[in-house]
Amino acid sequence: MPTDRSTERASDQRAEQPTAPAPSAPPAPSAERSAPAERTEPVDLAGTVGLFAEESRARVFAAVVLGATTLAQVTEQTGLSPKQATTALRRLRDQGVIAEGADGLAVGYDRFRELARSVRESKPAAESYGSGDEQSETVLRTFVRDGRLVRLPAQWERKLVVLRHIAERTFEPGVEYPERTVNEKLRAWCEDAPVDHVTLRRYLVDLHHLHRRVGVYRRPAAAA
């Protein structure tokens, strides 16, 4: 009958024996290995547009758009030398506007979609004028920019919208303003507009946005 010491030696010998390595995972399918890596570089709109400022690159890109899928076809359609076509293709591929897959050269439409999305996301939101009415907002965005009057609309209904906006943004209700102050405030609106502050002041008075009495102007609490 084996002793406890012999049992321990047998256990130690089994523990010291090398274990077989675990089988490695099978290689990924070729389709996965050939899938292009996700683009992580920032979108360079100016750089992409600048590609087409060079004639050879523009001609190569046009050839691919029209169906050229190989370097030989590109050189044939563009009339460029193989070296010129190769250099142009390299730059176009670097920017992602030309891709190369199993079927040969192709337009990198994903890159253009990426550029379009970047432009949309970077576009500043339309300025709000606080009118509460989309039609009025459209009028104000057309005729008022950065707190300045671009011009007075010719259409009377639009002119009313702009004049009301100027009155509400310039004068506090119930506060009395001397004519000199009124002129200064309205002159600021007219800096870039083909209308002077006197015309603007006359409109505001005629429309009862401002009441005038002995050279003092006051905006009523509820302008007509």
Per residue in 40-51, pLDDT (tens digit) is 445 567 778 888
**CA-CA distance, 181 to 184, in Å (whole number)?**
5
**pTM exceeds cut of 0.75:** no
pLDDT at 44: 65
Task: In whole angstroms, give the CA distance from residue 160 to residue 166.
Answer: 10
Percent pLDDT > 90 in the chain is 56
pLDDT of res. 33: 40
pLDDT above 60 (res 205): yes
Q: Which of 26-35, 78-87, 161-170, 209-218 has the lowest mean pLDDT?
A: 26-35
Alpha carbons 60 and 105: distance in angstroms, whole number = 11
Residues 215 and 178: beta-carbon distance below 8 Å: yes
**CB contact at 8 A, 197 and 186:** yes
The single-letter DSSP state of residue 173 is B
* Closest to 151 measured CA to CA, from 184, 185, 183, 199: 199
Query: Is residue 131 within a helix (H) or strand (E), and if so which, with residue range?
Result: none
Q: What is the pLDDT of residues 103-159, one digit of tens each?
A: 999 999 998 888 888 877 765 555 677 777 889 999 998 999 888 999 999 999 999
- 203 CB-contact burial (10 Å; exposed 0-12 / middle 13-18 / buried 19+): buried
Q: What is the pLDDT of residue 13?
A: 52
Q: What is the Cα–Cα distance from 137 to 149, expressed in whole angstroms?
A: 14
Is pLDDT larger for residue 36 or for residue 165? 165
Backbone φ, ψ for residue 94 (5° rounding)? -60, -35
95 within 8 A of 61, measured Cβ to Cβ: no
224 — pLDDT class (breaks 50, 70, 90) = very low
Question: b vs e for 119-130, b when ≥16 Cβ sit within 10 Å of the residue's Cβ?
Answer: eeeeeeeeeebe
